[in-house]
Amino acid sequence: MKVKVCGMRDPENIRQIAAFEPDFMGFIFYEGSKRYCQNYITPDILAELPATIKKVGVFVNETTETILQTVCKYKLDMVQLHGRETPRHCQEIKDSGLEVIKAFSVDDNFVFESTLLYEQGCDYFLFDTRGNNYGGNGTVFDWEILKGYLSNKPYFLSGGLNLENLKSREFERIRPKPFAIDVNSGFELELGLKDVEKVKELISFIKEKN
């Protein structure tokens, strides 16, 4: 299982977290987010990251042109689409040579068949808790409903993850198993600033399990 640490924007904090070599680091380029990174980071900061860490740009209902300009400027490896993007929009990004993660907001009424149209244009899915915001709601959805996910497409699990629930029996029982976990608010000291010790403990824990 892989680890994505999302919502990064403080330069020194980015360097500290990068030292633990998470598999992915997420940078939010959506102005409506409280963790919007554009005014905090520079391309040089991301260029310092180890090549083993994939840099993920998170976008919400953004144009393909703007996404590709941002990807080029910051040398991003992957794009996460976290809004109401269409299958065609995802395909456009994928056709540009980028890996695409499509996020879906999940609640008890979510129908996993709604992901089928996105299969071709995405490399991964991400399941987050439905809330008032596009991501970053800090709450967990009922993992039992993941049993309804029958696709072979690997997925990221997001939504209110913290050390306590990731070490729980409920997490152990999730089927199918997530390809990766996506952590954010559950590992923060404040908005956009991760708790270095908690992230270190998380990555050690996941590596032991692998």
Annotated catalytic residues are 6, 128
Q: How far apart are CA 42 and CA 99, in angstroms?
A: 22
Q: How far apart are CA 34 and CA 3, in angstroms?
A: 22
Q: How far apart are CA 36 and CA 28, in angstroms?
A: 5
Q: Which of 104, 106, 103, 99 is nearest to 121 (CA)?
A: 99
Cβ–Cβ < 8 Å for 103, 82: yes
**Strand bridging mode 54-59 / 193-194:** unpaired
Q: How far apart are CA 55 and CA 84, in angstroms?
A: 22
Q: How far apart are CA 210 and CA 41, in angstroms?
A: 32
Provide the token pair at 129: 């808790």
CA angle 10, 14, 9 (to 5 degrees): 35
> Burial of 65 by CB count in 10 Å (0-12 exposed, 13-18 middle, 19+ buried)?
exposed
